[in-house]
Chain A
Amino acid sequence: MSFLQYLINGISIGAVYAIIALGYTMVYGIAKMLNFAHGDVIMVGAYISFSATNYLGVPAVLSIFIAMAVCTILGIIIEGLAYKPLRGTSSLAVLITAIGVSYFLQNAAQLIWGATPKNFTSIVTSAPISLFGGQLTITGEVIITIVASAVIMLALHFFTTKTKIGKAMRAVSEDRDAAQLMGINVNRTISTTFAIGSALAAIAGVLLCSTVPTLQPTTGSMPGIRAFTAAVFGGIGSIPGAMLGGILLGVIETFSKAYLSSQFSDAIVFLVLIIVLLVKPAGLLGKQVQEKV
């Protein structure tokens, strides 16, 4: 029974990673850049939700939407000010700029909210469900997280395959020049991608802090790196890949903590990643691109 418990907890953590990884993977797919500031957008989202509920007395559910709105605007501003001028130049230059943005967000958050950790009150109020005579407990957070990630996944899938903007996004990530020739506004499409990714980051931030209630300026960086790993694991640029990668990463992490060694769980997770990449160099669901001479 403890196996099932670990599995459920693992999927729950993995679902949060998956939502963050979606942001990484979409931005990478379309703009071919590693957006290292994404983890910090999560942190900002969590702080906005925290401030809305604690200082303004907004109901928890509404605070998520406020956080999403703020993060969407933040994502568009970051993209327009810091990334857009560098489009088409070295990807390393954009990477360093992203790191600069990450430092900026962390330190701005520290100025505004202080360095001392805040105690994030969970947005879920329902009591945990007890099954099999108390052997298996599923908290409300776990259910909400899993449901939310499933809904987001489906919505994104629908969005990218059925709507006009979604199709434009796929076209731009396939071949930017050809898409531009077909009359797609590449800049606006990339901005939209950043907006969606940042809104997802806000949801991830609230869900993450509902499960792990300490909120501080560096809250986003470690889950950010984990989710980035998850995106690569599943094949960066692929939306189902990010979902699969995130959930697998969460499950592997929980299992290695439970059964193998808690102190080496980090090493085990990264070792699995390396092995997967050596066997499948483009990740689990990534496309293997043949290099042309």
Chain B
Amino acid sequence: MRIKNDRKTQLTNFLTYALVIVAFVILQYMSEGKMLTKSMQGYLIPICVYIVLAVSLNLVVGISGELSLGHAGFMGVGAFTGVIIAGIFRDTIDNEILRLALSMVCGGVLAGVAGFVVGIPVLRLRGDYLAIVTLAFGEILKNIFGNLYVGKDINGIQFAFSSEAIKLAEGGKMILKGPMGAAGIKKIATFPVAFVLILITLFVVLNLINSKEGRAIKAIRDNRIAAESVGINVTAFKLKAFVTSAFLAGMAGALFALNYSSVNASQFNFNTSINILVFVVLGGMGNILGSIISTTVLYLVPELLRELQDYRMIIYAIVLIVVMLVTWSPKVKQMIQVVQVRIKDLFKKKDKKGGSVNG
């Protein structure tokens, strides 16, 4: 049984990697051959970013079983760190890929640190209280980087919480302007880098899930007291999942910010966290492949409905409600089962008839 299960997970993991790689190769080929429309081209990197965010949130919500409503906060930390780092090294590091990688790593590390600081108090709480505190931390993070001013001149870099506090020498430049956010960012994010980030995320998350730690985390999710009684350090393992998730979200955030010419704090609000959560829940809790597919589909649905203009978000909302009702309602499930049994019966009857002819 054990080996069978292992084979099944291995197959699913292999399928996940294969799907991502094949999708990348096809899309890259199409985009180089100018076969994609301009708007489709523009969706590529954001979809990758949201896939990374959904997969990393799935680690917390699906695998670790903690409802987190502040994922956009970590994304924001990564985004603003990334913008600042990219701004600082704009003239010193010429290689754009190197600069992007450095920004993403710094964004990830800082988001990971934020995750650690947030995680220590938050993970002591349970259930809905944990959800509300992650929401609160997300809003606090947003509030802090929404009021951060960063300037750069020949003397160095200045940080402050008000615009007056920064006095720049001649030729100095503001990188971050509080609530206005950052403008004039050089767009250095590329689709191959986004693809590599997805691969890294999959590698980290899938390996973590199928490791000794992953089993411990799942044990905590299924029964905390039982897990504790066999000697699993609950807080340490939960923290591990939380920090990993925050780190990945930070990297995705940096990539996201460096894909646009301007970002501001309000982009990383509660609604963004909720959107990512919707991707995770509709993809299936703890199901990584599901997260990837649902993110892609759900990101594209409102974009493809753009022709319908005002009606598109209403349709999206109705689709969301109907999908939830169909996939979760016990009554609908029962109905599907009845239909399945009937179809099976139909085939069985046919088989019997066939048998009698032969016999």
A110 at the interface (CB under 8 A from B): yes
CB pair B277 A232 closer than 8 Å = no
Interface residues of B in 119-140 (CB under 8 A from A): 121, 124-126, 128-129, 131-133, 135-137, 139-140
Nearest Cβ on chain B to A110's Cβ, whole angstroms = 7
Contacts of B331 in A (CB 8 A): 85
Q: Let me know if A100 and B129 touch, CB within 8 A.
A: no
Whether A104 pairs with B225 at a CB distance below 8 angstroms is no
Residues 52 to 109 of chain A near chain B (Cβ within 8 Å) = 82, 85-86, 88-90, 92-93, 95-97, 99-101, 103-104, 106-108
* Cβ of A120 under 8 Å from chain B: no
> With A225-B270, A266-B140, A267-B144 as given contacts, are A99 and B320 in contact (CB-CB < 8 Å)?
yes
Q: In the complex, are the beta carbons of B329 and A281 less than 8 A apart?
A: no
Chain B residues touching A, range: 35 or more
Q: Which of A96, A107, A293 contacts B314 (CB 8 A)?
A: A107
Name the contact of B317 in the complex, choosing from A88, A104, A273, A293 (C-beta under 8 A). A104
Q: Nearest chain A CB to B198's CB is how many angstroms away?
A: 24
CB distance from A120 to the nearest CB of B (A): 23
Cross-interface CB contact of B328 among A93, A107, A283, A293, cutoff 8 Å: A93
A36, B131: Cα distance in complex, Å: 13
Task: Please determine whether B332 and A277 come into contact, CB atoms closer than 8 angstroms.
Answer: no
A8 to B332, CA, bound (A): 52
Contact A274 B317, beta carbon cutoff 8 Å: no
A36 to B275, CA, bound (A): 13
B144 A85 Cβ-Cβ under 8 A: no
In the complex, B28 has a CB within 8 A of chain A = no
Q: Min CB distance, A67 to chain B, in Å? A: 22
Q: Tell me if A278 and B124 are in contact (CB < 8 A).
A: yes
CA gap between A196 and B132 in the complex, in Å: 24
Beta-carbon contact of A96 and B325 below 8 Å: no
Q: Which residue of B lies closest to A263 (CB)?
A: B147
- Picked from B61, B310, B316, the residue with its CB within 8 Å of the CB of A103 is B316
Docked-complex contact B281 and A277, CB < 8 angstroms = no
Given A225-B135, A267-B143, decide whether A96 and B125 contact each other with a Cβ distance below 8 A.
no
Which one, A86, A88, A274, contacts B121 given CB within 8 A?
A274
Complex: A281 Cα to B124 Cα, angstroms = 9
Query: Given A264-B143, A266-B143, A267-B139, are A96 and B270 also a contact pair (CB < 8 Å)?
Result: no
Secondary structure class of chain B's binding surface, majority of residues? helix
| A86-B140 contact, Cβ under 8 Å, with A111-B310, A278-B121, A293-B225 | no
Write the chain B residue with the least CB distance to A273: B136
* Residues of chain B within 8 A of A108, CB atoms compared: 314
Q: Say yes or no: is B17 at the interface (Cβ < 8 Å to chain A).
A: no
- Contact: B321 with A82, CB < 8 Å? yes
Residue of B nearest to A32 (CB): B128
Question: Do B281 and A92 have beta carbons less than 8 Å apart?
Answer: yes
Within 8 Å of chain B (Cβ to Cβ): is A228? yes
Pair B137/A97 contact, Cβ less than 8 Å: no
- What is the size category of the interface that chain A forms with chain B? 35 or more
Instruction: Given A96-B320, A263-B147, answer yes or no on A85-B329 (Cβ-Cβ < 8 Å).
Output: yes
Residue numbers in A under 8 Å from B282 (CB-CB): 96
Would A93 and B281 be within 8 Å (CB), given that A34-B131, A266-B140 are in contact? yes
Q: Do residues A111 and B317 form an inter-chain contact, with CB atoms below 8 A?
A: no
Contact A97 B310 (CB under 8 A): no
Say whether B330 contacts A89, CB under 8 Å: yes
Asked whether A271 is an interface residue with its Cβ less than 8 Å from the other chain, the reply is yes
Q: A274-B136, A277-B133 are in contact. Are A90 and B321 (CB under 8 A)?
A: no
Interface residues of B in 81-131 (CB under 8 A from A): 121, 124-126, 128-129, 131
Decide if B313 is an interface residue (CB 8 Å cutoff). yes
- A90 with B314: CB separation less than 8 A: no
Smallest beta-carbon distance B327→chain A, Å: 8
Q: Does A282 contact B (CB under 8 A)?
A: yes
In contact, B325 and A97 (Cβ under 8 angstroms) = yes
For residue B318, CB closer than 8 A to chain A, the reply is yes
Query: CB distance A92 to B67 under 8 Å?
Result: yes
Expressed in whole angstroms, the Cα–Cα distance for A106 and B317 within the complex equals 10
Q: Could you say which residues of chain A place their CB within 8 Å of the CB of B161?
A: 263
Binary contact readout B274-306 vs A (1 if CB under 8 angstroms, 0 otherwise): 100110011001000000000000000000000
7 of the cross-chain contacts (CB-CB < 8 Å) are A34-B131, A95-B281, A107-B313, A232-B129, A266-B143, A274-B121, A283-B129
Query: Nearest 8 A-B pairs (CB), nearest first?
Result: A100-B320, A270-B136, A104-B317, A103-B317, A100-B321, A267-B143, A93-B328, A85-B329
Q: Could you list which residues of chain B lie within 8 angstroms of chain A, going by C-beta atoms?
A: 61, 67, 121, 124-126, 128-129, 131-133, 135-137, 139-140, 142-144, 147, 161, 225, 270-271, 274, 277-278, 281-282, 285, 310-311, 313-314, 316-318, 320-321, 324-325, 327-332
Q: A96-B324, A263-B147, A267-B140 are in contact. List 13 more A-B contacts (CB 8 A).
A: A86-B325, A89-B329, A89-B330, A95-B67, A111-B311, A225-B139, A225-B270, A228-B132, A232-B128, A271-B140, A274-B136, A281-B125, A281-B126
